[in-house]
Amino acid sequence: MHKSQAGALAAVAALDEPTRRRLYEYVVRRPGPVSRDDVAEALGVARPTVAFHLDRLVAERLLVAEYERRSGRTGPGAGRPAKLYRRSDRQVSVSVPERHYELAGELLASAIEEADETGGSAREILARRARDHGAGLAAGAPDVVGALEEHGFEPRVEEGAVLLGNCPFQRLAKTHAQLVCEMNLGLLAGMLDGVGEGGLRARLDPRPGFCCVRLEPA
């Protein structure tokens, strides 16, 4: 499982606790940052309990903590700054099996923008950008199978070839098969480049139950 996916699961799990979820919902609905005392008074929850749950939400990067003197005074005698909480900019999305539609959107949008600027072929640009991105994803990985596992492709080694049990772009591939599969082909060829795996090559080979790309001996 990709580290970001594991982190997203942990964040979702943190909200499974009913009191913590109530606190989170209260904070994100306020127009400005709120203190532990604000939350405790509004929800009738003990302040130590509020502090524990709010700080857990900060640890999961669902909330952000900041300090501010609410009196508006500064200098000696102004008192200690209050610890305030607000929603973070983090977005959490979890899917099982893993899907990476945001990555597909970024690659497609950047390819269209470059094609508009240069007059080049959007498909060719998409394939190149996907390959470059794949190389970056796999750079430093000890082997290609480990890199594929890390990024949700569910690789299976059979007779020297690597079959991929999951397509991270599965829904898009159903409706835009040729475009998405060409992008995926570039991505996986790039991952081979990133690992430095010269003994395999990526090729299109759609078959039921598998990703449209397979890696086979070069």
pLDDT interval class at 218 (50, 70, 90): confident
pLDDT value for 213: 94
Look at 57 and 79; give whichever has higher pLDDT: 57
CA-to-CA separations, 163 to 79, 143, 159, 176, 217, in angstroms, rounded: 63, 15, 10, 21, 12
Look at 67 and 90; give whichever has higher pLDDT: 67
Cβ distance 112 to 172 under 8 Å?
no
pLDDT tens digits, one per residue of 9-26: 677 777 888 899 999 999
Q: Give the range with max mean pLDDT: 75-79, 93-97, 98-102, 192-196.
A: 192-196
Average pLDDT over residues 82-87: 90
State both tokens at 135. Answer: 């190389």
Tell whether the model's pLDDT for residue 75 goes beyond 60.
no
Tell whether the model's pLDDT for residue 122 goes beyond 60.
yes
Q: Determine how β-strand 161-164 pairs with β-strand 155-158.
A: antiparallel
- Domains of the chain plus CATH, in order, are 3-87 (1.10.10.10), 101-217 (3.30.1380.20)
CA dihedral 58, 61, 62, 64 (to 10 degrees): 60
Distance spanning both ends of the chain, measured CA to CA: 27
Tell whether the model's pLDDT for residue 177 goes beyond 80.
yes
